[in-house]
Amino acid sequence: QSVLTQPPSVSGAPGQRVTISCTGSSSNIGAGYPVHWYQQLPGTAPKLLIYANSNRPSGVPDRFSGSKSGTSASLAITGLQAEDEADYYCLSYDSSLSGWVFGGGTKLTVL
C-alpha cells in the first residue's frame, strides 16, 4: 500500500489526452511538498518528466504537463503517441515518514 495513490492503469488512443492522478495526504502533498513525475520504459531507469509540480526538464515535450491542488496532483499527456506507453510514478516528500514517498505507479497503454 503506497503512501501516494495512483490508478493502476490508464489507456487512450493515439492523439488523445489522458490524465494520471496522484492522491496524498496532509503530511505530504497537502503539506505543500512539491510533486514530481517519472516515466519508466520497460527495462530502463525512471526518467524525470515533471519536477516541482509543473516544470519540465529540458528535452521533455510540452505534451506533458503537471498540476497540483490540495492533497492531489495530476499528470496530463496530450497528443498521445505510441512511444508514451510506459509506467508513470509520482513522488513527493512525507513529513510523517521524514522521507521520500512514491506512488504505486500507473501503466499507460496506447490503444
Partner 1 sequence: QEQLQQWGAGLLKPSGTLSLTCTFYGGSFSTYYWSWIRQPPGKGLEWIGEINHSGGTNYNPSLKSRVTISIDTSKNQFSLKLSSVTAADTAVYYCARISQGTFDYWGQGTLVTVSS
Q: How many positions of this chain bind partner 1 (CB under 8 A)?
A: 24
User: Per-residue x/- marks for partner 1, 2-41, CB under 8 A?
Assistant: x-------------------------------x-x-x---
Cα(87)–Cα(33) distance, rounded to whole angstroms?
23
Of 52, 81, 109, 111, the one binding partner 1 (CB under 8 A) is 52
91 lies in the site for partner 1, by CB under 8 A: yes
1 lies in the site for partner 1, by CB under 8 A: no
**From the CB of 2, what's the least distance to partner 1, in Å?**
6
Cell numbers that stand for 52 in this block: 516541482
- The SS3 call for residue 69 is strand
Cell numbers that stand for 93 in this block: 516528500
**From the CB of 13, what's the least distance to partner 1, in Å?**
26
Cα(105)–Cα(109) distance, rounded to whole angstroms?
13
Q: Which of 33, 102, 110, 43 is nearest to 79 (CA)?
A: 110
* Host H or E run for residue 36: strand 36-40
78 lies in the site for partner 1, by CB under 8 A: no
